[in-house]
Amino acid sequence: MTDQTLPEWIRVHAAEVRQWPRIATANDPGCDVELCDRDRFAAGLCKAHYMRAKRAHRAELKNGAER
Protein backbone atom coordinates (compact mmCIF):
# COMPACT_ATOMS: atom_id res chain seq x y z
CA MET A 1 0.00 0.00 0.00
CA THR A 2 1.37 3.39 -0.93
CA ASP A 3 1.06 6.46 1.25
CA GLN A 4 -1.20 8.04 -1.39
CA THR A 5 -3.89 5.42 -0.78
CA LEU A 6 -3.97 6.09 2.96
CA PRO A 7 -6.59 8.39 4.50
CA GLU A 8 -5.32 11.96 4.90
CA TRP A 9 -5.42 11.84 8.69
CA ILE A 10 -2.91 9.00 8.74
CA ARG A 11 -0.94 9.89 5.59
CA VAL A 12 0.77 12.84 7.28
CA HIS A 13 2.15 10.45 9.91
CA ALA A 14 2.70 7.35 7.78
CA ALA A 15 6.46 7.14 8.35
CA GLU A 16 6.05 7.48 12.11
CA VAL A 17 3.18 5.00 12.28
CA ARG A 18 5.19 2.35 10.43
CA GLN A 19 7.96 2.63 13.03
CA TRP A 20 5.71 2.00 16.04
CA PRO A 21 6.63 -1.07 18.06
CA ARG A 22 4.69 -4.26 17.71
CA ILE A 23 1.58 -4.41 19.88
CA ALA A 24 0.50 -8.03 19.54
CA THR A 25 2.17 -11.40 19.49
CA ALA A 26 -0.08 -12.84 16.79
CA ASN A 27 1.64 -14.44 13.82
CA ASP A 28 -0.85 -13.24 11.22
CA PRO A 29 0.91 -11.18 8.50
CA GLY A 30 -0.50 -8.04 7.04
CA CYS A 31 -0.03 -4.89 9.13
CA ASP A 32 2.29 -2.32 7.53
CA VAL A 33 3.91 -1.49 10.87
CA GLU A 34 7.39 -2.96 11.03
CA LEU A 35 7.55 -6.15 13.12
CA CYS A 36 3.75 -6.35 13.51
CA ASP A 37 2.32 -9.64 12.32
CA ARG A 38 -1.39 -8.88 12.77
CA ASP A 39 -3.86 -9.05 9.90
CA ARG A 40 -4.77 -5.81 8.21
CA PHE A 41 -7.91 -4.13 9.46
CA ALA A 42 -7.97 -0.79 7.57
CA ALA A 43 -5.57 1.56 5.78
CA GLY A 44 -2.90 -1.16 5.76
CA LEU A 45 -2.83 -1.39 9.55
CA CYS A 46 -4.03 -3.96 12.07
CA LYS A 47 -6.91 -2.88 14.29
CA ALA A 48 -4.62 -1.98 17.20
CA HIS A 49 -2.35 0.28 15.13
CA TYR A 50 -5.30 1.76 13.22
CA MET A 51 -7.08 2.71 16.45
CA ARG A 52 -3.86 4.11 17.92
CA ALA A 53 -3.38 6.30 14.83
CA LYS A 54 -7.00 7.41 14.94
CA ARG A 55 -6.71 8.38 18.63
CA ALA A 56 -3.52 10.33 17.90
CA HIS A 57 -5.30 12.20 15.12
CA ARG A 58 -8.22 13.07 17.41
CA ALA A 59 -5.78 14.39 20.01
CA GLU A 60 -4.14 16.60 17.37
CA LEU A 61 -7.49 18.02 16.36
CA LYS A 62 -8.47 18.57 19.98
CA ASN A 63 -5.21 20.46 20.57
CA GLY A 64 -5.78 22.67 17.53
CA ALA A 65 -3.42 21.05 15.04
CA GLU A 66 -4.23 21.44 11.38
CA ARG A 67 -5.55 18.52 9.35
Q: Is 67 a member of any domain? A: no
Which domain covers residue 41, as residue numbers? Answer: 3-62
Interatomic CA distance for residues 29 and 39, integer angstroms: 5
Give a yes or no: residue 18 inside a domain.
yes
Output the CA angle 15-43-12, nearest 5 degrees.
35
Whether residue 28 is predicted with pLDDT greater than 60 in this model: the reply is: no
Tally of structural domains, the chain: 1
Name the pLDDT band for 21 (thresholds 50, 70, 90).
Answer: low
Contact (Cβ atoms closer than 8 angstroms) between residue 31 and residue 44: yes
pLDDT band at 25 (very low <50, low <70, confident <90, very high): very low
> Does any domain span residue 20?
yes
Asked whether residue 33 is domain-assigned, the answer is yes
Query: Is 45 domain-assigned?
Result: yes
Question: Is the pLDDT reported for residue 2 higher than 70?
Answer: no
| 57 pLDDT tier (thresholds 50, 70, 90) | confident
* pLDDT given at position 30: 78
Average pLDDT, the chain: 75
